[in-house]
Amino acid sequence: MIPSVLPTYSRAPLTFVKGEGSWMIEADGRRFLDLGAGIAVNALGHANPVLVNALTEQAGKLWHVSNLYNIEQQQALADKLVDNTFADTVFFTNSGTEACELAVKMARKYWYDKGQPEKVEIIGFEGAFHGRSSAGIAAAGGEKLTKGFGPLLPGFRHVPWGDLEAVQSAIGDETAAVIVEPVQGEGGIRPMEDADLKALRVMCDAAGVLLIFDEVQCGVGRTGRLFAHEWAGVTPDIMMVAKGIGGGFPLGAVLATEEAASGMTLGTHGSTYGGNPLACAVGCAVMDVVSDPAFLEEVNTKAGLFRQKLEGLVAGHPDVFEAVRGSGLMLGLKCKLPCGDVVAAGYGEELITVPAADNVVRLLPPLTISEEEIAEAVARLDAAATKLAADAKD
């Protein structure tokens, strides 16, 4: 008999009833150190008093009115995002997937309104993840996402990760945009080289093609900058945001330049819940913390410490781990043993990590994790690796 919850998820045998900062707690009191943050979502940790306060204060006033009316919290959050980024304008969604939908629509509508309706094609990279909607899976293109769900939304092409020559030769008269995660998340914590992001910008400008950054996972302070592309010193025309921006409350956004957004005129797009008062009240509180340069500086300091300790871990367990990679507090351990075994061994040490493609274990702690907690996390990884290596010998 089919379970009452549609069985699409492979779940760990863990049930958490409470969260505190970098910790998740089971009913029996077992405390797990959280290096997953709900897949890079709980950017400020669990039950952060600032966010709890923002949410409960708003909950006592007004939850939802729809976008038929002005929403003060939505306006405030849009202003914060515009003030702190390349963007001139923002549309709010409830998820990263919905942000992908609009990014694709916006790019196509831009060229349609420019009198070039043939420009519909979007070039993406292999190993990408852009969400699970029809546009999201077509944009990513991987067989794991698309198999059995045809006919796929047409107008997408894919090139190998980081292969800029392939992008150059894929760009043609029908190209509307290139879409890229500055750091691939699901694909295995693969940062694009700064030089390559720069080259991509130059290439898109030369060809008259829009550039879309998917910062759903790597944005909102995760890499030690407010958005990951800032490291490369380039800006996109359109950017997808979600995950961390809501700190655990469902919230996403599409940020765009005035030019790129010019096709999205009155009545061309909408959402019932998008930008609701609850989500935006929390989003404002997240932005106030994360956009503070002192906060980002701390993320960078902790990231440096974490990375250094992880290099030591990898050196100490050459039969379990191959390398550390990533950016800021978006780190990956490329494994030699199956990454699922490493994640499971972590559970045995009351440590949460997240598997990704390319046999990588993702480490995406709350940005508020302390230096002591980082040391504790590496000690637990060390214990897990020691047990794994011993088991592998038996």
Ligand X SMILES: *Cc1c(COP(=O)(O)O)cnc(C)c1O
Taking residue 334's Cβ as centre, other Cβ atoms within 10 Å add up to: 19
CB of 172 to ligand X, least distance (A): 25
Q: Does the protein bind ligand X through residue 365 (CB under 6 A)?
A: no
Q: Which of 358, 349, 329 is nearest to 42 (CA)?
A: 329
Determine if 223 is a binding residue for ligand X (CB under 6 A). Answer: no
Q: Does 353 bind ligand X (CB under 6 A)?
A: no
Question: Can you tell me which of 85, 95, 175, 368 binds ligand X, judged by CB under 6 A?
Answer: 95
Is 16 labelled a binding residue?
no
Cβ of residue 131: shortest distance to ligand X, in angstroms?
4
Nearest residue (CB) to ligand X, 186 versus 237: 186
- Min dist CB 254 to ligand X, Å, is 12
Is residue 97 at the binding interface for ligand X, with CB under 6 A as the rule?
yes
User: If you count DSSP H runs as helices and E runs as strands, how many of each does the chain have, helices first?
Assistant: 12, 17
Q: 43-82 mask for ligand X (x: CB under 6 A)? A: ----------------------------------------
How many angstroms separate the CA atoms of 354 and 345, rounded? 12
**Region 290-309 residues binding ligand X, contact defined as CB under 6 A:** none
Strand partners, 263: none
The only residue of 19, 21, 96, 182 in contact with ligand X, by rule CB under 6 A = 96
Report residue 68 as tokens.
């038929």
One symbol per residue from 178 to 217: x for binding ligand X (CB under 6 A), - otherwise; what is it?
A: ---x---xx---------------------------x-xx
Chain centroid offset of residue 212 CA: 14
Q: Is 174 annotated as a binding residue?
A: no
Q: Which residue has the tokens 């008062």?
A: 277
Q: Is 271 annotated as a binding residue?
A: yes
Name the minimum Å distance from CB 301 to ligand X.
25
Q: Is 308 annotated as a binding residue?
A: no
Tell the smallest beta-carbon distance from residue 188 to ligand X (Å): 12
Q: What is the DSSP string of 232-294?
A: GT---SEEEE-GGGGBTB--EEEEE-TTGGGG--TTS---SSTT-HHHHHHHHHHHHHHT-HH
Is 149 annotated in a binding site? The answer is no
The residue with its CB nearest to ligand X is: 96
Please check if 215 is assigned to a binding site.
yes
**Which pair of structure tokens corresponds to residue 96?**
């990263």
Distance, CA of 185 to CA of 14 (rounded, Å): 23
The secondary structure of 48-105, three-state, reads CHHHHHHHHHHHCCCCCCCCCCCCHHHHHHHHHHHHHCCCCEEEEECCHHHHHHHHHH
Task: Please give the single-letter amino acid code of residue 330.
Answer: M
Closest distance to ligand X from the beta carbon of 214 (Å): 5
Task: Report whether 168 belongs to an annotated binding site.
Answer: no
Site for ligand X in 239-258 (CB under 6 A): 242-243
Q: Are strands 31-34 and 351-352 parallel, antiparallel or unpaired?
A: parallel
The residues in 102-161 that bind ligand X, with binding defined as CB under 6 A, are 129-131
Q: Is 216 annotated as a binding residue?
A: yes
268 is in an annotated binding site: no
Specify the DSSP class assigned to residue 198.
Answer: H
Give the relative orientation of helices 277-290 and 293-316 as an angle to the nearest 10 degrees. Answer: 80
Is 120 annotated in a binding site? The answer is no
Annotated binding-site residues read 96-97, 129, 132, 214-217, 271-272
Annotated binding-site residues for pyridoxal 5'-phosphate read 96-97, 129, 214-217, 272
Annotated binding-site residues for N(2)-acetyl-L-ornithine read 132, 271
Positions that interact with ligand X (CB under 6 A): 95-97, 100, 129-131, 181, 185-186, 214, 216-217, 242-243
